[in-house]
Amino acid sequence: MKSLQFSMLLLSLVLAALLSFSMGALPQEDFLQCLSLRSNDSSTISNVIYTRNNPSYSTVLESTVRNLRFNSTNTPKPLVIVTPSRTSHFQATIYCSRKHGLQIRTRSGGHDYEGLSYVAKVPFVVVDLVNFRSVDVDVENGVAWVQAGAILGEVYYRIAEKSRTLAFAGGVFHSIGVGGYISGGGFGLLFRKYGTGGDNVIDAQFIDGNGRILDRKSMGEDLFWAIRGGGGGSFGIVLAWKLKLVPVPATVTAFSVSRTLEQNATQLILRWQEIGHQLPDEMNPDVSMFSVNSTQDGRKTILASFSSLFLGTIDELLPIMQQRFPELGLSRQDCSEMSWIESILYFNQLQNQPLEILLNRTFRNPVGGQYYKIKSDYVKEPISETALNGLFSRLSDEEASSAIIIFMAYGGIMDRIPEDATPFPHRAGNLYKIYYNVNWQEQDNVNSQKYIDWSRRVYNYMTPFVSKSPREAYANYRDLDIGSNNVGITSYTQASIWGCKYFKNNFDRLVQVKTKIDPENFFKHEQSIPPLH
Ligand code: FDA
pLDDT tens across 351-368, in order?
A: 999 999 999 987 665 556
Asked whether residue 68 carries a pLDDT value surpassing 60, the answer given is yes
Angle between helices 2-22 and 25-38 (to 10 degrees): 60
Compute the distance between CA of residue 34 and CA of residue 40 in angstroms, rounded to an integer: 11
Compute the distance between CA of residue 279 and CA of residue 273 in angstroms, rounded to an integer: 11
pLDDT tens across 367-385, in order?
A: 567 999 999 999 999 999 9
Extended beta strands in 311-414, E state: 335-338, 371-379, 404-409
pLDDT tens across 289-317, in order?
A: 999 997 778 789 999 999 999 999 999 99
Question: CA 69 → CA 96, 193, 459, distances in Å?
Answer: 30, 35, 20
| Backbone φ/ψ region at 69: left (φ over 0), alpha (ψ -120 to 50), beta | alpha
Within 13 Å, how many C-alpha atoms sit on residue 4's CB side? 1
Phi, psi at residue 325, to the nearest 5°? -145, 55
pLDDT band at 482 (very low <50, low <70, confident <90, very high): very high
Q: What average pLDDT score do residues 32-37 get?
A: 92
- Can you give the pLDDT at residue 400? 95
* Residue to probe by mutation, ligand 1, list 60, 65, 67, 112, most atoms within 8 Å of CB: 112
- Can you give the pLDDT at residue 21? 39
List the residue whose alpha carbon is closest to atom 37 of ligand 1. 111
SS3 content of the chain, % helix, strand, coil (to 5): 40, 20, 40
From the CA of 180, how far away is ligand 1's center (Å)? 4
Asked whether residue 15 carries a pLDDT value surpassing 60, the answer given is no
112 ligand 1 Cβ < 6 A:
yes
477 has catalytic annotation: yes
Phi, psi at residue 239, to the nearest 5°? -90, -35
Compute the distance between CA of residue 347 and CA of residue 429 in angstroms, rounded to an integer: 27
From the CA of 455, how far away is ligand 1's center (Å)? 21
DSSP character for 219? H
pLDDT tens across 137-182, in order?
A: 999 999 999 999 999 999 999 999 999 999 999 999 999 999 999 9
426 ligand 1 Cβ < 6 A:
no
From the CA of 527, how far away is ligand 1's center (Å)? 14
From the CA of 95, how far away is ligand 1's center (Å)? 25
pLDDT band at 3 (very low <50, low <70, confident <90, very high): very low
- Can you give the pLDDT at residue 18? 39
Q: Decide if 214 contacts 252 (C-beta within 8 A).
A: no
Q: For the stretch 436-457, what's the b/e string if a residue is b when 16 or more beta carbons lie within 10 angstroms of its beta carbon? A: bbbbbeeebbeebeebbebbee
Compute the distance between CA of residue 484 and CA of residue 355 in angstroms, rounded to an integer: 40
From the CA of 477, how far away is ligand 1's center (Å)? 8
Closest-CA residue to 439 (of 120, 108, 113)? 113
* Residue to probe by mutation, ligand 1, list 173, 360, 367, 376, most atoms within 8 Å of CB: 173
187 ligand 1 Cβ < 6 A:
yes
Whether the upstream peptide bond of residue 470 has omega within 30° of 0, thus cis, is yes
Residue scoring higher pLDDT (2 or 142): 142
Phi, psi at residue 419, to the nearest 5°? -60, -25
Compute the distance between CA of residue 118 and CA of residue 124 in angstroms, rounded to an integer: 9
- Can you give the pLDDT at residue 189? 97
Tell me the one-letter amino acid at 167. A
Calculate ∠ Cα 85-423-87, nearest 5°.
15
Q: What's the whole-model pTM score?
A: 0.94
Question: CA 175 → CA 48, 49, 200, distances in Å?
Answer: 22, 24, 19
pLDDT band at 489 (very low <50, low <70, confident <90, very high): confident
Q: What average pLDDT score do residues 466-494 get?
A: 95
* Residue to probe by mutation, ligand 1, list 61, 371, 476, most atoms within 8 Å of CB: 476
Q: How far is CA 423 from the centre of its chain?
A: 15
Asked whether residue 25 carries a pLDDT value surpassing 90, the answer given is no
DSSP character for 363? -
424 ligand 1 Cβ < 6 A:
no
Q: Does an H or E element contain 79, and which?
A: none
Question: CA 168 → CA 50, 163, 285, distances in Å?
Answer: 34, 12, 19
